[in-house]
Amino acid sequence: MKIRSFLILIVFLVGAIRSEAQELELPDYQPTLVLADADTSDSSSFSVSDLGFTQADLQSDLSQKDLNTREDMLKIHQILGVVTAVPMWTEFVLGLTTASNVSNGSTDTTLHTTLGLATAALYFTTASFEMFAPKPKNKKKSGNSGIHETLSWIHFPLMIVVPLLGDMMNDRIANNQPLGNLPAVHGVLATALVLSYTTSLMVITF
């Protein structure tokens, strides 16, 4: 139940903040932008395509300040994305061990649950830096950025569903109730979550 309440709170806060952010209107003037060229050798800066633009979009509806903010937030998003992968994979491996212990009669899932909550919190924090970064209007992402966004539609809902299934399993384990097919479903979805997230991370990082 704690996991369920935690995830509902996270989703509610993300939705509320994103709704407020979408109501903000950007200036109507057309600023002169200073963007790094897509072929720049400076690895510390995002290219135009990394920011969701093409070379034809140099006259944008975003101000230079917004573009700088977007670049900073996407850098944090990228760094936290790599950091999040560590507890996520640890949680996945720990889940396999916990499942084996439970099948042998153990009822202790505390470590797995605690690490799962920490991973979820870090995941949604990471996602928030991309979701709330200033975005150009009516611009569709392409290339690696497009693949990265498409995969997010897979691992984002899974990051909600997988912990909820884990919470249901914890309730049944604590009450000595049969688990049925929950472990198998939980395992398959957890695998899909880890693989889709890792792929999403790799296409935008390497």
Domain layout of the chain by residue ranges = 2-205
- For residues 41-57, one letter each, b for 16 or more C-beta atoms within 10 angstroms of the residue's C-beta and e for the rest, the string is eeeeebebbbbbbeeeb
Nearest to 206 by CA among 66, 71, 37, 85: 85
pTM, two decimals, is 0.72
Average pLDDT value over all residues in the chain: 79
Residue 135 three-state SS: coil
- At residue 187, does pLDDT exceed 90? yes
Name the DSSP letter for residue 62: S
What is the reported pLDDT for 17?
46
- Write the CA distances from 160 to 123, 188, 189, integer angstroms: 11, 14, 11
C-alpha dihedral sign at 26, 32, 38, 42: negative
What is the reported pLDDT for 3?
58
Contact present, 74 and 129 (Cβ < 8 Å):
yes
What is the reported pLDDT for 54?
52
- The Cα–Cα gap between 157 and 43 comes to 32
- The Cα–Cα gap between 199 and 181 comes to 27
Name the DSSP letter for residue 43: T
- At residue 10, does pLDDT exceed 60? no
What is the reported pLDDT for 41?
42
